Chain A
Amino acid sequence: MPSNPAHAEPSALVGQAAHAEQPADAAPQPIGRPVIEARGVSKTYHLDEIEVHALRGVDVAVHEGEMLAIIGPSGSGKSTLMHIIGLLDRPSTGIVAVEGEDVSAMLPNELAAVRNKRIGFVFQAFNLLARTTAQANVELPLIYAGVSAAERAKRAQEALARVGLGERLRHMPNQLSGGQQQRVAIARALVTNPSMVLADEPTGNLDSRSGIEVMAILQGLNEQGITVVLVTHDTSIAQHAQRVIEIRDGGVVANRIVVDRTDAQARLAEYLHEHAGDNAGDHAGDYTDDHMGGLQ
């Protein structure tokens, strides 16, 4: 995987959105082999006497190199689906395969090993370890992968450089803005070279500008060949993806190619232009600034 920090610079991200020309009604074309596949997946919860069917026979495939959005309102079952394709949970029935390997029957510890190797998580609430430096946070998955300390430090620094935080290795989460914290989380997700980065409402706790920046980074990473899955209720966020799967009442109701895909880099430029009068100069073309936007 390329790890040139220059790719994370805004200039390198400008001028993409190449996939917006496909017709809206065309059946989605796989753009690579499936990295994660769910076949006939159902999940039933037993709350007291009541059976809750969170998922009812869902088929989803995440293809290598694509940027997929899973969208649905709260209660639709999208969180359950995310947990299952993120291997945090197991389906009641159906099969989940990672890189062709069936993981539905794996024990929690085996799933932990697969998560560690194959899946990078980005959460709405960042979920960084408090009182722990950015670099140590990024190193965390490598510790559990058994990577040596020197190698860990090197790879964590590379990952942080890719998200534009190469200068903030020693900062604690509470010394970073929300957007910066989310970028640390993205670096943590990337550091193991996973098959897929799974981002659950990655902009949910961020102000608009930081949200745009985070989406720009995710799009940039996808441009570099990393598979990204966005889970969101927000159609404008889903618009950043190449393909959208819509979940409602525990089933897939739509699977479509995104037309008129949003280019986060272009939106960032627009945003900066609109707000040029506010605090121009400080931020222009640079998202490694210290603005404390977003929710802490």
Chain B
Amino acid sequence: MNLVESFRIALRALGANKGRAALTMLGVIIGVAAVILLVAIGSGVQQEITGQIEGMGSNLLFVVPADISAESGGAGGGAMGAGKSFTLDDADLLERQLGGDALVVPILQGAARLKAGSHSMRAMIAAANQYGSEVFTSDLVYGRGYSRSEYITATRVAVLGATPAEELFPGQNPVGREVQINGERFEVIGQYAKQGGTLSGDQDNRVYMPLTTAQRLLSVSDISVIVAKAEDPGRIELVKHKIRQALRPSFGDDITVFTQEQTLGILSTLLGTLTVMLAGIAGISLLVGGIGIMNIMLVSVSERTREIGIRKAVGAKTYDIMSQFVIEAIVLSVVGGAIGILIGWAGALALKTWIPTEITWWAVTLAFGFSAAVGIFFGVYPAWRASRLDPIVALRYE
């Protein structure tokens, strides 16, 4: 008997039990749809976040005064606290050494309590030199950023992020108003547009000011991190090398220079793992669907014991019976898989309004391949049982 006949027999058997076939398929449909949908969400979020980081510019270098490569014992926080910190002198040194190759932006971050009139709130200080806007990319809604002279003279001026602006001056233009930061009086000179939450935290709940002002306000002489923005993205490795050389006399090897690419790589790996994890969870439902197929196939085999006996009596070989039942299971899983792909796909498109989704071919292929494999795997055992039935016993079966 050829495969075409096996298919015909299997389809006829499924057609005779349409309701049951549909319910059995439902397990696979849900599993495949879940895999595609969850992977689509995972990859969509991954794309969005990496897109955001790439939007900051691929020519950024982050310099931290600690060796946070693999062998440093992993005590990142300890290394940061116990080791040396950067000061503005280090930033100046870098600026001189790099010259026209890169802009050097020292950054200091800290906590702040903001107060204006009767409103008060907590926010993060993000302080830099006059090139700060090159790193903290955001559009101004009102006013301006701080100037070089304000940086040099440590003037108490502040640019508000979207959240403090809304909390302290709801529905108003805050430019020219007064805000108290950690008890000191600041003049608001601008307001940034809303950026939305990203992986690096709430970008909006920030107050921006000159670094020198922030050092006085927080009574520190350190800076958190130095960011270098290479003029030519193609020379980023050269800039990285120069930074290491410039800082070696005072810091030795306790320097880590992240490029945007590295950050992206780490993030992508992390998000990729997350996506695979989501796929794995959805895969479990696919497995459950497969067990459903096996269950129904076992029921089907025992229901059709007599039919198997008849077929064997008139000359069906073990292979014929086996292929008939395996094909039934495969048809269930493959048709279920195809419907699941359609539903998952449609769901991912529908969700796009709220969540970034990205339909990936590997997820579709994997889900479909897995559902077919599930059909074969869970169909083989019932089919094997069917094919091993003794025709005499099967014919007597009531």
Residues of A near any B CB (own CB < 8 A)? 83, 86, 88-89, 108-109, 112-113, 115-117, 121, 123, 127-132, 140-141, 143-146, 188, 192
* Residue from the list A88, A89, A129, A146 in contact with B1, Cβ < 8 A: A146
Closest 3 interchain pairs by CB? A116-B315, A144-B315, A141-B314
Q: How far is the CA of A99 from the CA of B320 in the complex (A)?
A: 26
- Shortest distance from the beta carbon of A154 to any chain B beta carbon, whole Å: 17
Q: Are B306 and A127 in contact, CB atoms less than 8 angstroms apart?
A: yes
Given the known inter-chain contacts A109-B317, A127-B306, A146-B1, please indicate yes or no for A140 contacting B311, CB distance below 8 A: yes
B315 touches A141 (CB 8 A): yes
Q: Complex Cα distance A188/B311, Å?
A: 12
CA distance in complex: A112, B313 (Å): 7
Q: Which residues does B use to contact A, with CB under 8 Å?
A: 1-2, 5, 9, 12, 16, 306-307, 309-320, 391-392, 395
Query: In whole Å, how far is B20's beta carbon from the nearest beta carbon of chain A?
Result: 14
> In the complex the two chains form, what is the Cα distance from A57 to B391 in whole Å?
24
Once the chains bind, are B391 and A127 in contact (CB under 8 Å)? no
Out of B307, B318, B391, which one reaches A88, CB within 8 Å? Answer: B391
- Give chain A residues whose Cβ lies under 8 Å from the Cβ of B1: 143-144, 146
Of A86, A143, A145, A192, chain B has the most CB atoms within 10 Å of the CB of: A143
CB <8 Å contact, B317 and A115: no
A131 to B14, CA, bound (A): 12
CB pair A88–B310 under 8 Å, yes or no, is no
Question: Across the interface, do B395 and A123 meet the contact criterion of CB distance under 8 Å?
Answer: yes
Interchain CB contact (< 8 A) of B315 among A89, A113, A129, A132 = A113
Residues in B with CB closer than 8 Å to A113 are 315, 317
| Chain A residue at smallest Cβ distance from B309 | A127
Contact between A112 and B312, CB atoms less than 8 A apart: yes
Question: Which residues of chain A have C-beta atoms less than 8 A from B5's C-beta?
Answer: 143
- The answer to whether B311 touches A144, judged by C-beta atoms less than 8 angstroms apart, is yes
- From A88, A129, A132, give the contact of B392 (CB < 8 A): A88
- Secondary structure of the B contact surface, majority rule: helix
The reply to whether B319 and A109 form a contact with Cβ atoms under 8 Å apart is yes
For A132, what are the chain B residues with a Cβ–Cβ distance below 8 Å?
A: 12
- The answer to whether residues A83 and B392 also contact, given A115-B315, A144-B320 and a CB cut-off of 8 A, is yes
Given A131-B16, A144-B1, check contact A112 B392 (CB 8 Å): no
A146–B316 Cα distance when bound, in Å, is 11
- A89 and B395 in contact, given A112-B312, A113-B315, A116-B315 (Cβ under 8 angstroms): no
Report the separation of the CA atoms of residues A143 and B315 in the bound assembly, to the nearest whole angstrom: 9
- Check A108–B318 contact: CB distance below 8 A: yes
Residues of B within 8 A of A108 (CB): 318
Could you tell me the distance between the alpha carbons of A121 and B311 in the complex, rounded to whole angstroms? Answer: 11
Which residue of chain B has the shortest Cβ distance to A191 in the bound complex?
B314
B151 to chain A, nearest CB (A): 87
Is A144 touching B316 in the complex (CB atoms < 8 A)?
yes
A83 to chain B, nearest CB (A): 6
B391 to chain A, nearest CB (A): 5
Report the Cα distance A121→B392, complex, angstroms: 12
Q: A112-B312, A121-B313, A128-B310 are in contact. List 17 more A-B contacts (CB 8 A).
A: A88-B313, A88-B391, A109-B318, A109-B319, A112-B316, A113-B315, A115-B315, A116-B315, A121-B314, A127-B395, A129-B310, A130-B307, A132-B12, A141-B315, A144-B320, A145-B315, A192-B315
Asked if B314 and A144 sit within 8 Å, CB to CB, the answer is yes
Provide the residues of chain B in CB contact with A128, threshold 8 Å.
310
Give the chain A neighbours of B391 by CB distance below 8 A. Answer: 88
Nearest CB of chain A from residue B388's CB, rounded to whole Å: 9
A112 near B317: Cβ-Cβ < 8 Å = yes
Q: Are A116 and B392 within 8 A (Cβ)?
A: no
Choose among B2, B314, B319 the residue that contacts A140 (Cβ–Cβ < 8 A): B314
Q: Which residues of B contact A130 (CB under 8 A)?
A: 307
Asked if B306 and A112 make an inter-chain contact with CB atoms under 8 angstroms apart, the answer reads: no
In the assembled complex, the Cα of A129 lies from the Cα of B319 at a distance in Å of 19
Query: What are 13 A-B pairs at a CB distance below 8 A?
Result: A83-B392, A88-B395, A112-B318, A113-B315, A115-B313, A127-B309, A127-B310, A129-B307, A141-B314, A144-B1, A144-B314, A144-B320, A188-B314
B16 CB contacts on chain A under 8 angstroms: 131
Residues of A within 8 A of B2 (CB): 146
Q: Is the CB of B314 within 8 A of A116?
A: yes
B10 CB → nearest A CB, Å = 13
**Closest CB-CB distance, B237 to chain A, in whole Å?**
69
Q: How far is the CA of A145 from the CA of B320 in the complex (A)?
A: 11
Given A112-B312, A127-B306, A129-B307, are A144 and B392 neighbors across the interface (CB < 8 Å)? no
Measured between beta carbons, the chain A residues less than 8 angstroms from B307 are 129-130
Min distance, Cβ B318 to any Cβ of chain A, angstroms: 6
- CB-CB under 8 A from B312, the residues of chain A are 112
Expressed in whole angstroms, the Cα–Cα distance for A144 and B183 within the complex equals: 93
Q: Which residues does chain A contribute within 8 Å of B318, judged by CB atoms?
A: 108-109, 112
Output the least CB separation between B18 and chain A (Å).
12
Q: What residue of chain A has the Cβ atom nearest to residue B306's Cβ?
A: A127
For residue A82, which residue of chain B has the nearest CB? B392
Min distance, Cβ A77 to any Cβ of chain B, angstroms: 14
| Cβ contacts under 8 Å, A141 to chain B | 314-315
Q: Which residues of B contact A116 (CB under 8 A)?
A: 314-315
In the bound complex, CA of A117 to CA of B312 (Å): 13
B-chain residues with CB within 8 Å of residue A121 when the two chains form the complex = 313-314
B319 to chain A, nearest CB (A): 7
Chain B residue contacts of A83, Cβ below 8 A: 392
In the complex, A146 Cα to B2 Cα: how many Å? 7
* Chain A, Cβ-Cβ closest to B9: A143
Contact A112 B395 (CB under 8 A): no
Chain B residues whose CB sits within 8 angstroms of the CB of A117 once the complex forms: 315
Find chain B residues with CB under 8 A from A192 CB.
315
**Neighbouring B residues of A112 by C-beta, 8 Å:** 312, 315-318
For residue A86, which residues in chain B have a CB less than 8 angstroms away from its CB?
Answer: 313
Residue of A108, A109, A112, A145 most packed against chain B (CB within 10 A)? A112
Report the bound CA distance from A121 to B315 in whole Å: 11
Give complex CA distance A86, B319 in Å.
Answer: 21
Q: How far is the CA of A226 from the CA of B33 in the complex (A)?
A: 59
- Could you tell me the distance between the alpha carbons of A235 and B215 in the complex, rounded to whole angstroms? 117
B9: chain A residues within 8 A (beta carbon): 143
Nearest A residue to B314 via CB reads: A141
Nearest chain B CB to A52 CB, angstrom units: 15
A143 to B395, CA, bound (A): 19
